[in-house]
Amino acid sequence: MKNKFNFLISYFDSLDFKYKTSFLVFIIAGGMICIIILSQISIFTMKHDFDILFEKRTKSLMQLEHIKDSYKVNIQDTLFDFERKQITYQQSIEILKLAQEIIDRNWSLYKEQIKLRNKEFLTIFIKKFIINEENYYENKALKQSIMENINKKRELIKDEIDLIKILNSDEYFANMNLEINAISIYLTSLINYDLSLAINEKRNTDKIFNIIFIFSIIFIFIVFFFSVILSLFIINNFKKLHNSLEQKVNEKTKELQEINNYLEIKISKEVVQNRKKDIIMFQQARFASLGEMLNNIAHQWRQPLGSITMIIQSFQTKMSLGKLTPTFVDEKVNDALLLANNMSNTLEDFKNFFSPNKIKSKFSIKNCIEHSIELSKYLLLQESIEVKVKIRKDMEINSYYNELSHVFLNIISNSKDALCSNVDKNDRIIKIIVHKYKNHLVVNMLDNGGGIPEDILPKIFEPYYTTKYKSAGTGIGLYMSKQIIEKHMNGVIFCRNISHKMKNKKAFNCTLFTIKIPIQDESSENTNDK
């Protein structure tokens, strides 16, 4: 027995979790259904037997008592009253007929009640197969014999009532009393028989109730026992599942930590490489800008150098002609010094441009824009490009002067290339508009160079993307401009094509670059000053 129990325990323990849960639900649901069925059976059976005892049995007994009383009171007492001349013959006949009708009706109802006493199928099944009821207390032959005797006596009394003879009243009354006493005895026997049946059926009802109650208790115990056992199995399964999940979570956490460590190393390496790339691109942008600046310096130095050359040659000419005078020498030396001073100022301007600002400084946006235009003035004049600057209100910002000037110079250089390629010399215009919007400085730079093709427009800020020949550009000028504005200055730069009236109210297809730079508010400035 113990081995079987251990085998059953090990079998349940080996089942999957879903089967254990399903079995537990089945046991609980099945047990509850059995308990409900048993309780309903017990209630139904007791109700059925109660109906038999207190309705059918009681009614039949009452009908027999009514019949017995009718014979004794209605018939026997009426005959005594008639014999004593207390009532008339006609009254006696009416009372006797009425009593006979009452007796016939109650007897018919009693026999109908007997026919209706057929037990239900469920009651028969319970009493036959559950409690194995033996109907030892039923004696159908005896009951049938008593009912036949009652019928005979009842018919005999009825016939004698119909054949009343006043002349033989003594003999009649003697016979009548004898028959009424006899039928009373039979009725009493039938009443006792039915009453014994009711008592026995009450005993069986108690027996059924006790058995069903015991079975209900057993089922409740079985459901409780299996529920506890299966709950323990499920709790144990939950513990195992929890431990396995915890172990898996720990393993996954360890894997994630290793992946994070690997990603951190990889990201740090990528950051270093990107910084190197940014430095290289920045250097390339510097070199490209340096080439343009050297070209500008060369253009701006060409005329002064030619003038100085002519001054030197004039010394040689005057010397050969013998007309070299101190006054002439002083005049030409002053002119040469003036030219040399201008050339030196040009070098100083370009030198300051190439030295990056590591510390923010306050400067006027107007001065920064004019400085950028001054650096590219010669090329703009050479290409007949007109620059219009509209500053509604000059503002000071706290930022990097040279880097912002470099951005302006890159955009002016791109506008110059577009205007030289697409626009007639008489219509080449660059317009710069500066205004303040909320806490931002907004610089709009547009040219009427025909705009940028829509398929190229989203790519212009990508590194090494250029539509120029390789000898004319590297494709990193606008990329570096975006890096400076957005990363160094926390601003925004974007480009779009618009239609704008640039000259004589004539509309042109234009390229618009918009730069938004945050302005430090006055309260923070005052705080910093303090």
pLDDT tens string 297-350: 665 566 567 777 878 888 888 888 888 888 888 888 887 887 777 567 666 655
SS (H, E, C) 231-243: HHHHHHHHHHHHH
Contact 425, 384 (CB under 8 A): yes
Interval 506-525 mean pLDDT: 77
The per-residue pLDDT for 470 is: 40
Establish how many alpha carbons lie within 13 A of residue 239's alpha carbon, considering only the half-sphere containing its beta carbon: 6
Q: Find, among 68, 126, 122, 124, the residue nearest to 99 by Cα.
A: 68
Buried b / exposed e over 406-440, threshold 16 CB at 10 Å, is: bbbbbbbbbbbbbbbeebeeeebbbbbbbeeeeee
Please determine, for residue 11, whether its predicted confidence score (pLDDT) is greater than 90. no
Report whether pLDDT(405) > 70.
yes
Decide: residue 229, CB within 10 A, 0-12 exposed, 13-18 middle, 19+ buried: middle
* Two tokens, residue 332: 């030409």
pLDDT of residue 290: 65
Q: What are the CA-CA distances from residue 121 to residues 129, 203, 416 (Å)? A: 12, 20, 110
- Token code pair at residue 54: 């207190």
3-class secondary-structure state, position 339: helix
Name the CATH superfamily housing domain 359-521. Histidine kinase-like ATPase, C-terminal domain (3.30.565.10)
> Under a CB-based contact definition with an 8 Å cutoff, are residues 53 and 202 in contact?
yes
Is residue 68 within 8 A of residue 188, CB to CB? The reply is yes
Round to the nearest angstrom and report the end-to-end CA distance of the chain. 95
pLDDT at 500 over 80: yes
Residue with tokens 């910084």: 275
Query: What is the token pair recorded at 26?
Result: 């089945």
Give pLDDT tens digits for 244-300. 888 888 888 888 888 988 888 988 888 888 878 777 776 766 666 666 666 656 655
Percent of the chain scoring above 90 in pLDDT: 8
* DSSP per position, 129-184: IIS----TT--HHHHHHHHHHHHHHHHHHHHHHHT--GGGHHHHHHHHHHHHHHHH
Q: Which two tokens stand for residue 377?
A: 């003035």
**Residue 176 or 394, more confident:** 394
Mean pLDDT across 358-371: 86
Sign of CA dihedral 65, 67, 72, 73: positive
In 47-115 the beta strands, taken as DSSP E runs, fall at: none
- Stretch 443-459: mean pLDDT, rounded? 89
- Predicted local confidence at residue 441, as pLDDT: 92
The whole-model pTM stands at 0.42
What does residue 413 show for φ and ψ, rounded to 5 degrees? -60, -45
Angle between helices 326-353 and 401-422 (to 10 degrees): 100
Q: CA-to-CA distance for 73 and 60, rounded, in angstroms?
A: 20
Task: At 81, list the tokens.
Answer: 């009253």
Model confidence band, residue 5 (pLDDT cutoffs 50, 70, 90): low
Cα 429 from Cα 506, distance rounded (Å): 12
Band of residue 492 on the pLDDT scale cut at 50, 70, 90: very high
| Long-range contacts of 1-8, Cβ-Cβ distance < 8 Å, separation of 24 or more | none
When mean pLDDT is compared over 13-22, 271-280, 380-389, the highest value belongs to: 380-389
172 band by pLDDT with thresholds 50, 70 and 90:
low
Closest by CA to 285, choosing from 347, 354, 350, is 354
Q: DSSP readout, 369-431?
A: HHHHHHHTHHHHHHTT-EEEEEESS--EEEE-HHHHHHHHHHHHHHHHHHHHHHS-GGG-EEE
Residues forming a β-bridge with 514: 444, 494
How do residues 204-229 score in pLDDT, each as one tens digit? 777 777 777 787 778 777 777 777 77
Task: Please tell me whether residue 460 adopts helix, strand or coil conformation.
Answer: coil
φ/ψ bin of 428: left (φ > 0), alpha (ψ from -120 to 50), beta (otherwise): beta
DSSP category for residue 468: S
Structure tokens at 370: 């004019």
